[in-house]
Amino acid sequence: MSSITDAVQDRPTTSSGAGATVHLLRAGDARDMARWDAFVAACPEATFFHRAGWQTIIDRVYGHKTWFYYVEQDGQIVGVLPLAEIKSRLFGHSLGSLPFCVLGGVAATSDAARPLLDAAADKLAASLKVGHLEYRNLLPAHAGDPAWHQKELYVTFRKAITADDDENMNAIPRKQRAMVRKGIKCGLTAEIDQGVDRFFIAYATSVHRLGTPVFPKKYFAVIKEVFGEECEIRIIVKDGAIVAGVLSFYFRDEVLPYYGGGMPAAREFAGNDFMYWNLMQAAAARGARIFDFGRSKLGTGAFDFKKNWGFSPTPLAYEYRLYESTELPDNNPLNPKYQLFIKLWKKMPLALANVLGPHIVKSLG
């Protein structure tokens, strides 16, 4: 639930001369959420991560306070800005659009909505006394504005796909194509799960191997519950044994593999390579025409893996406005101060890592 009372949520925050007003989405209100999502579906700037369901997920799983602002003009929503606050002794105090999502920021169909939403976020950030405000944009929204800073850390990988499997296969570079065919020859197959148990085994095993704290199992279960058929869980198996798994989102004509992982056997059987090809095939048959391979940090194995598929990296324009902090946040595994932690985490028993991990990622977003 949002921390704002219903009385405050119903009251416009500010207005413009054109009659545009800022409101807060009433958490759990089916009508409000349906209006919000209808706007997101139609707004070219909006992404899957602007969906109203993220408010439910962030609240139910992590208990963070949320403020999902929208601008209304002539009875229609013309802009949205989802925000959530994270307050952590370890990683600082922030307000962002949107934690646990790769994208966010203002999505609008009216130029009048943008400054109103920016002003609402600025006012809220100042009142909360956060260290910084973060917008996770695909494109810069405040270029040239000295109040905003940009940090080059992440890129995204997106590529068009067609309805023709042969065309999609031939678009994959030769060496990577050979890995896909290896997985096919090994007899790997895919199964769709409605629950998260098998996926969580593959995911948790994989991130532990990388020295990364795991998200709680409840997180994935709530994601699946909230987004239903727009969230697909695909499990790769060999002779009935789990090899790999991926949780993907469908939005408009896009498929977004968002969380994935493989068992140790995935390397032997080219499990991850087969998994993404199998997803691409299924998504193309479902009508998807964009394969969004998602965000990766520069200089990582995930970055190299996606480039090997013939995808070109596009920098993400993450923007920051400082309030109580004097420097930009640097909470990522490439920060040298976390290297010892990562080494120790890899040596920790998996069962213990699965218990401790959710308490850490809750504060990272």
pTM above 0.85, yes or no: yes
Domain-embedded: residue 169: yes
Domain-embedded: residue 353: no
Token duo for residue 168: 């999609």
Residues 102 and 128 in one domain: yes
Domain-embedded: residue 295: no
Beta strand 290-297 with 254-262: parallel, antiparallel or unpaired? parallel
Q: What are phi and psi of 81, to 5 degrees?
A: -150, 100
Q: Judge contact between 27 and 1, C-beta under 8 A.
A: yes
How far is residue 58's CA from residue 63's CA, in Å, rounded to a whole number? 6
Name the nearest CA neighbour of 280 among 171, 154, 135, 126: 171
Question: Which comes out higher in pLDDT, residue 13 or 170?
Answer: 170
Residues 139 and 35 in one domain: yes
Residues 57 and 127 in one domain: yes
Q: What is the pLDDT of residues 204-231, one digit of tens each?
A: 999 888 888 889 999 999 999 999 999 9
Provide the 3-class DSSP secondary structure of residue 94. Answer: strand
Q: What is the pLDDT of residues 259-317, one digit of tens each?
A: 999 999 999 999 999 999 999 999 999 999 999 998 988 878 888 999 999 999 999 99
Per-position DSSP letters for 115-134, written without gaps between them: HHHHHHHHHHHHHHT-SEEE
Residues 176 and 283 in one domain: yes
How far is residue 328's CA from residue 330's CA, in Å, rounded to a whole number? 7
In the chain, the number of structural domains is 2
Residues 211 and 243 in one domain: yes
Token duo for residue 4: 């704002």
Beta-bridge partner residues of 72: 21, 77
Q: Judge contact between 346 and 209, C-beta under 8 A.
A: yes
Domain-embedded: residue 359: no
Residues 97 and 19 in one domain: yes
Domain-embedded: residue 360: no
CATH number at residue 122: 3.40.630.30
Beta strand 317-322 with 132-137: parallel, antiparallel or unpaired? antiparallel
Q: What is the pLDDT of residues 96-148, one digit of tens each?
A: 999 999 999 999 999 999 999 999 999 999 999 999 999 999 999 999 999 99
Beta strand 66-73 with 189-193: parallel, antiparallel or unpaired? unpaired
Residue 5, pLDDT > 50, answer: no
Name the nearest CA neighbour of 189 among 273, 268, 275, 75: 275
Residues 27 and 118 in one domain: yes
For residue 127, what are the domain limits? 15-153+316-329
Domain-embedded: residue 334: no
Domain-embedded: residue 254: yes
pLDDT of residue 359: 74
Residues 39 and 140 in one domain: yes
Domain-embedded: residue 73: yes
Residues 137 and 241 in one domain: no
How far is residue 230's CA from residue 232's CA, in Å, rounded to a whole number? 6
Residues 236 and 187 in one domain: yes
Residues 119 and 216 in one domain: no
- Rounded (5°) CA angle 250-253-256: 40
Residues 142 and 212 in one domain: no
Token duo for residue 169: 């296969």
